[in-house]
């Protein structure tokens, strides 16, 4: 009897197991609801932050085809829908800044050998600023850009990348220059170990940046420019449109660093400037920045200038009759070749004399490095607000060789708290 009961229990247990297995198998064979992994969620949210669906193969192919052209044109970004509005409270930047774009571009004078140095600069500018605005980028060279340069740089720029060849007449000795005299000057500067003193290409570069880059056919399309050079660094986020700021505040020229020019490179520059002032007094405006340039009312030049490897400025001003007359006067005096005039003092003197003080701007919040000088905002809160990673001890603004204090003084600007500690 006991044996029979034990067998019945075994049979009952086996029957229950069969029923359980049946329910499990039927559940798994039906439709399954997918439980998203963390990576799936991030992928989904990423497409929402971009404001569009993931790129289709057709769109990818079109983009590749476009990148092979001389002007690398980006497809228009899709308009973000309300359902895909980025979560700004989480600190995520919008896919693109709101509002219409200014007619502006970055501009870089570079050679093919500069590709990796300029790639670093582009990445800095894109990450800190241009990923929000997608402004174009114009590259200029006195020789054709090679495929590597175009491929690397166009992959990094969020706006359209354009590549221009500098006309030979803008990168050569003008007919009025005495070649023997110019060669003798270069040899003398080489012996005196003056930086770039024996370089022909450096002189062509300074002359081109002073008088021709804004007249290149590619640049004629734009009203505003931001000059970027190889191997620069931006230390802070720039969360507003600098071009729009310039326009809305009626600024025409801006800087982040200022210093004294090498005296040996510009011995007669100011005499040439005074000749221009005498010839064209109509181009000199009232309430200008002569006090930044001269300590004696214009009799002599104190050698202060804005460091022009960073500039945000108005191209219409550079193309104006006043500026072109100024450049032509200096050019025919020959100092680009008989001395070693740089584009920085040439631009700075023009801005100081032909623009009102209130048309110049110091971008304190754009922390910047170009060997060997750094601008790092003195105010700690500015650095924290803009996620800066520069060391304030490296700030050059209040150094004795800087002219930024002079700019503050002539404009009655209050220096930031703690500036004395950075002298």
- By annotation, the residues acting in catalysis are 311
Q: Give the Cβ contact number of residue 260 at 10 Å.
A: 14
| H or E segment and range at residue 136 | strand 136-141
CB–CB of 363/254 below 8 Å? Answer: yes
Q: What would the two tokens of residue 238 be?
A: 């720039």
CB–CB of 367/235 below 8 Å? Answer: yes
Provide the 8-state DSSP code for 305.
E
Burial of 140-164, coded b for 16+ CB within 10 Å and e otherwise, reads bbbeebeeebbeebbebbbbbbbbb
CB-side exposure of 410: number of CA atoms within 13 Å?
A: 21
Torsion sign (Cα): 180, 182, 186, 192: positive
CB–CB of 386/365 below 8 Å? Answer: yes
Task: Give which of 421, 262, 261 is closest to 352, Cα–Cα.
Answer: 261
**How far apart (Å, rounded) are the C-alpha atoms in residues 94 and 337?**
49
């Amino acid at each position: 009897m006991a044996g029979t009961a034990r067998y019945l229990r075994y049979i009952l247990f086996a029957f229950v197991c069969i029923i359980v297995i049946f329910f499990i198998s039927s559940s798994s064979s039906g439709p399954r609801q997918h439980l998203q992994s963390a990576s799936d969620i991030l992928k989904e949210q990423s497409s929402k932050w971009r404001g569009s669906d993931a790129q289709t193969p057709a769109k990818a192919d079109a983009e590749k085809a476009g990148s092979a052209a001389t002007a690398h044109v980006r497809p228009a970004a899709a308009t973000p829908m309300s359902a895909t509005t980025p979560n700004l409270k989480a600190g995520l930047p919008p896919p693109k800044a709101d509002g219409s774009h200014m007619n502006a571009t970055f501009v870089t004078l570079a050679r093919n050998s500069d590709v990796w140095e300029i790639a670093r600069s582009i990445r800095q500018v894109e990450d800190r600023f241009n990923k929000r605005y997608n402004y174009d980028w114009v590259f200029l060279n006195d020789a054709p850009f090679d495929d590597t340069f175009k491929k690397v740089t166009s992959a990094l720029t969020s706006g359209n990348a354009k590549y221009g060849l500098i006309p030979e007449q803008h990168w050569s000795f003008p007919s009025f220059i005495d070649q023997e005299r110019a060669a003798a000057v270069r040899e003398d500067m080489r012996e005196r170990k003056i930086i770039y003193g024996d370089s022909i290409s450096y002189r062509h570069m300074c002359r081109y940046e002073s008088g021709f880059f804004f007249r290149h056919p590619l640049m004629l399309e734009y009203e505003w420019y931001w000059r970027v050079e190889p191997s620069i660094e931006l230390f802070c986020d720039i969360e507003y449109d600098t071009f729009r700021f310039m326009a809305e505040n009626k600024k025409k020229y801006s800087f982040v660093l200022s210093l004294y020019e090498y005296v040996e490179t510009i011995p007669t520059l100011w005499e040439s400037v005074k000749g221009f002032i005498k010839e064209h007094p109509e181009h000199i405006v009232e309430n200008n920045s002569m006090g930044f340039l001269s300590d004696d009312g214009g009799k002599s030049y104190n050698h202060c200038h804005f460091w022009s490897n960073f500039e945000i400025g108005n191209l219409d001003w550079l193309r104006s009759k006043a500026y072109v007359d100024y450049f032509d006067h200096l050019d025919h005096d020959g100092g680009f070749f008989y001395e070693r005039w740089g584009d920085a003092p040439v631009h700075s003197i023009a801005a100081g004399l032909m623009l009102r003080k209130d048309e110049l701007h110091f971008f304190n919040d754009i922390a910047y490095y170009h060997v060997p000088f750094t601008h790092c905002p003195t105010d700690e809160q500015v650095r924290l607000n803009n996620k800066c990673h520069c060391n304030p001890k490296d700030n050059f603004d209040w150094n004795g060789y800087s002219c930024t204090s002079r700019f503050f003084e002539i404009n009655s600007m209050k220096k930031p708290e703690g500036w004395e500690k950075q002298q």
